[in-house]
Structure 1
Amino acid sequence: MSATPLSLAPTPSSPTPTRTTPVYKVTGPRVLRAEWAKFWSLRSSWITLGVAVVLLIVFGAIAAATYSPGAVATSGPPGPGSSGADSDAVGLALTGVSFAQLAIGVLGVLLSAGEYSTGMIRSTLAAVPRRLPVLWSKSLVIGPIALILTTIAAVAAFQLGTPGLDGEKIALSLGDDGVLRSLAGAGVYLGLVAVFGVALGMLLRSSAGAIAALVGTLLILPGLASLLPDTWYDTITPYFPSNAGSAVYALHESANSLSPGAGLAVFAGWVALTLAGAAYRLVRTDA
């Protein structure tokens, strides 16, 4: 008896597992993390932040060390060896703010306009098609960093200058009224200057042009205003960006300046207006 061959019926083949690539949504926190990593990966970030901190500390300490009660008062901010009757320990400690603001503002410009110079902005906007999160993330990264570091530097400059003013009529301590508020106000002002630089860079899309606009707005514009008639000068100049910003960290309110709160509101308004212009151009025009 011969065995009949078994019929081998085809068995269904097992499905081959397929690898699916996870899809990651573009969210605000992810864009913020990307800008954070991008910021700290740039050598210019470390260098410029270091320069701003050194300028604040060194100029403040030198101003306090070279303070002379008999010096003739000057119309500008107190500097080394040029302090007058209305000088105070906080004003001397914050002598370097006028220099640090340039370093911080330039850093903000490079963070935004630098991508247009290298062409990297195309890759950035391809990854973030909605575009506006890029602007907000750059501002949220640099603003708090500048605020914290410059506030620490302002306090350090004040503390380093305190021994040199021991026994002087203008000597103050951190516990005196308004001192901490003024030192923190300098940090707030410089943090807003950093965001102002980002907005100018996004608006003008040129590092050189944005830096020129930054210097002109913060330093040259108040000087040109002296050509105006006195009545116009006294009315308009308190609302210039740098003058409004200086009111934020002034220990005493002068007759022709804004209060700290009003100065903060005015300068923040300038920054917000520039950010709005940058946001409009970012959305409406190609990179």
Structure 2
Amino acid sequence: MNAIRAEWVKLRSLRSTWYTLGTLLVLGLGITTLTMSSMHRQYFEASPADRAAWDPTGQSLKTYIVAQLVVGVLGILIVTSEFATGLIQTTLAANPRRSRLLAAKSLVATVVAAAAGQLLMFAAFLLGQAVLAAQDVPSASLGDPGVFSAVIGGGLYLSAIALLALGLGAIMRATAGALATLVGIVFLVPALSGLFPSWLHGVLACWPTLGAAAIFNTIPDPAYPHPWLNLGGLWLGVLAVLAAAFFVFRKRDV
């Protein structure tokens, strides 16, 4: 508990933490407003089949595409900022048990990202549905089938991305390298997924912005019909990266 308390004090005392969280909310809700404001034309120009597959919940939660990068930066900086300044040596002198130290950082990062991500998901949903209703476009409410689970799943998705970013930061010890790797994972690999051999398609079912991102939709995606299993697969992959981070953090010198 002392290690967790220390990491929380360090995190909340940095202005960059609050700047990052503020950016998450402002940017996320700004993107939601911009994208949802054009839904009137998109819906009424759509074909009958597209209207039948209209998912107002999924439309309003698409802000996750940018939000995952912001929470990723937060997760990376929790680790790499201390390596960059050399303060990691002071931290290890105060808390020489490296596994306990990284576990405390991981727990704090997950809780903060989950709280901020959940707040963003609920706010983006409510804002997006209000914009749709103002345009006379079919909207949804939290009580509709699948809506609440999609919003909750969105917060879990973002917290998984933050934990993944923290693991990458611990492995690479450099902000630029960890962020470049995270961008490759969430954007480059999905963009090139069509080039992968068929035996790798099972991995894509739990990949960020692919199978795991199906959790944001209330209308099932035929390619990923089990969104909660896909999200669980993402968490397993994140835990594997975190296990590697624990291993290298304990074995190598600072």
Q: Which runs of 5+ in 2 are unaligned?
A: none
1:93 aligns with 2:60: yes
1:47 is aligned to 19
Q: TM-score, with normalisation over the residues of structure 2? A: 0.90
CA–CA distance in 2 between the matches of 1:208 and 1:140? Answer: 23
For residues 134-156 of structure 1, give each alpha carbon's deviation from its aligned partner in whole angstroms, at most 9, with x where no partner exists: 11111111211111222122211
Ranked by relative contact order (alpha carbons within 8 Å, sequence separation 6 or more), the top structure is 2
Q: Cα distance, 1:63 vs. partner?
A: 2.2
Query: Cα distance, 1:72 vs. partner?
Result: 5.9
Return the alpha-carbon distance in structure 2 between the equivalents of residues 263 and 221 of structure 1. Answer: 16
Give the paired residue count: 248
Call closer, same or farther: CA 1:202–1:253 in 2, change over 3 Å: same
SS at match of 1:256: coil
* Paired position in structure 1 for 2:250: 283
Of residues 73, 86, 93, the one that matches 1:119 is 86
Structure 2 counterpart of 1:185: 153
Shift of residue 209, structure 1, vs aligned partner: 0.7
* Change beyond 3 A, Cα 1:69–1:242: closer
Q: Which residue of 2 aligns with 1:58?
A: 30
Matching of residue 35 in structure 1 with residue 7 in structure 2: yes
Q: Alpha carbons of 1:121 and 1:145: their partners in 2 closer, same or farther (altered >3 Å)?
A: same
Unaligned 5+ runs, structure 1: 1-28, 74-83
Check conservation: 1:241, 1:270, Cα contact below 8 A: no
Question: Does 32-41 or 48-57 show the bigger shift?
Answer: 48-57
- What one-letter code is carried by the residue in structure 2 that aligns with 1:58? G
- Determine if the alignment matches structure 1 residue 271 to structure 2 residue 238: yes
1:1-287 mapped onto 2 (5 Å cutoff)? 29-67=1-39, 68-71=42-45, 85=51, 86-166=53-133, 170-228=138-196, 231=198, 235-287=202-254
Contact preservation (8 Å) 1:238, 1:258? no
3-state SS of the aligned residue for 1:253?
A: coil
Distance in 2 of aligned mates of 1:147 and 1:105: 12
* Alignment root-mean-square deviation, CA: 2.0
* Contact 1:234-1:256 within 8 A present in 2 as well: no
Q: Which letter does structure 2 place at the counterpart of 1:146?
A: A
In structure 1, C-alpha distance between the alignment counterparts of 2:225 and 2:105, rounded to whole Å: 30
Distance change (3 Å), C-alpha of 1:30 and 1:267: same
Q: Distance in 2 between matches of 1:104 and 1:247?
A: 19
Distance 1:129 1:258 in 2: 46
Whether the 8 Å CA contact 1:56–1:95 is kept in 2: the answer is no
- How far apart are the structure 2 equivalents of 1:63 and 1:172? 16
Contact 1:244 1:266 in 2 (8 A): no
- Cα 1:137–1:251 change in 2 (3 A) is same
More deviation, 103-112/162-171: 162-171
Q: CA deviation at 1:126?
A: 1.3
Residues 145-188 of structure 1: per-residue CA shift (max 9 Å, x gap): 11122212221122122233227564111111111111111111
Deviations 1:197-245 (A, max 9, x none): 111100111111101111101111111222236x457554323233233
% identical aligned pairs:
34
